[in-house]
Amino acid sequence: MILLGRHRFGASPGDELTVDLPMKFLLFIIFTLSLLVVGCASEPVETDLLVPVKFADMPAGLIQTDFYTRSIEVRVRGSLDQIHRVEALNLTYLVDLYADLTSDPVDATAFIPPAFYAIPVIKERLATPPGIEIIHVKPAYITVELERKEIRSLPVTVVLTGEPAMGYEVAHTKSEPITVVLTGPESLFRKITSIQTKPVDITGADADLKKMGSLDIDALGFSTAASLVTVMVAIQEKITTHTYGAIPVTTRNSPPSVQISPPEMQIILKGPVNRFKDKGVDGDFQVYIDLKDLPAGVYVRPAVINVPVGLMLVDAKPENFTVTIK
């Protein structure tokens, strides 16, 4: 029987107030749930943290290659509140190369040769809050490859993407500066002889371009003081040749009876591709022989050839014609 400590309406002051069965059941549920909440709150929680790895005090003359452990997986245990706090810390694991690879951790002049190293993870370097237990760390060793550091000057190669406008082409490319100074592992310089730019878009270009370009060094493992260059792309019209055959040879200032042999000729013209596509270009030819003031007789004469504007005469056959004036 549960005493509530107050009187029922109409009861005498000395009577005890009893709780009916439904009220007992409700109070029992509330009490049970409160115990569960308290019990759950005190249960430890486990979670995995992905902790990035940083390297401190790179030895003089050495450089870290692209082969190294970038992060470690740390499994921790603690209360839910402690877990939230450690997640908010954004932990970093710092590898001290002198402390881990030499007998004297404070001697910054100690010799560390270029090699591939496996360095054991020290849990105490993870600055976790009080109450957090580190269960395990994967991997147990951090690997890093150290090579001799090289500084060299390499020429820049301009890389293009896209196509110029119809009838145009790339004449040449250039970068300013034409060489860049790069720092990186010795082995990388044995693999490449120039450094490329990231692709420069020339889609639809019909005139020279000048743009800022980025050096494509992100995935190579190089570093440089200036990762941008000025890219210059010279655009020119595509030039082609076209052969025209069986062009009739006409005369000017000629008498009524004239015979030309042979009566036709062949010419080869050179010029921009788009000029040959212009309407009417085939009708712009003028091939003739001027017979002004010539009496009757047989003559050998060259033809006058007027070609369309923007085109150049490359060849003409035959060079001379036999003209018979009767």
pLDDT tens for each residue of 42-99: 588 999 999 999 988 788 889 888 889 999 999 999 999 898 989 898 899 999 888 8
Task: Classify the phi-psi angles of 189: left when phi > 0, otherwise alpha if psi is within -120 to 50, otherwise beta.
Answer: alpha
Return all residues near 38 (Cβ < 8 A) that are at least 6 apart.
Answer: none
Q: Per-residue confidence at 134, pLDDT binned at 50, 70, 90?
A: very high
Residue 143 shares a structural domain with residue 72 = yes
Domain count across the chain: 4
Residue 56 shares a structural domain with residue 111 = yes
Residue 139 shares a structural domain with residue 64 = yes
The answer to whether residue 103 sits within a structural domain is yes
Residue 111 shares a structural domain with residue 172 = no
pLDDT score of 33 more than 70: no
User: What percent of the chain clears pLDDT 70, i.e. is strictly above it?
Assistant: 84
Domain endpoint, select from 81, 114, 147? 147
The DSSP bridge partners found for residue 261 are 322
* Mean pLDDT along residues 133-138: 94
The answer to whether residue 229 sits within a structural domain is yes
pLDDT at 256: 86
Query: What is the domain extent for residue 187?
Result: 158-237
Domain endpoint, select from 237, 265, 284? 237
pLDDT at 5: 41
Determine the distance from the C-alpha atom of residue 73 to the mean position of all C-alpha atoms in its chain, rounded to a whole number: 30
The answer to whether residue 313 sits within a structural domain is yes
Predicted structure pTM score: 0.62
Domain endpoint, select from 237, 252, 267? 237
Residue 292 shares a structural domain with residue 265 = yes
pLDDT score of 11 more than 50: no
Beta strand residue intervals within 69-177, DSSP E: 71-78, 93-96, 115-120, 133-138, 141-157, 160-161, 168-176
Residue 316 belongs to domain with CATH number: 2.170.120.30
Enter the tokens of residue 59: 């030895």
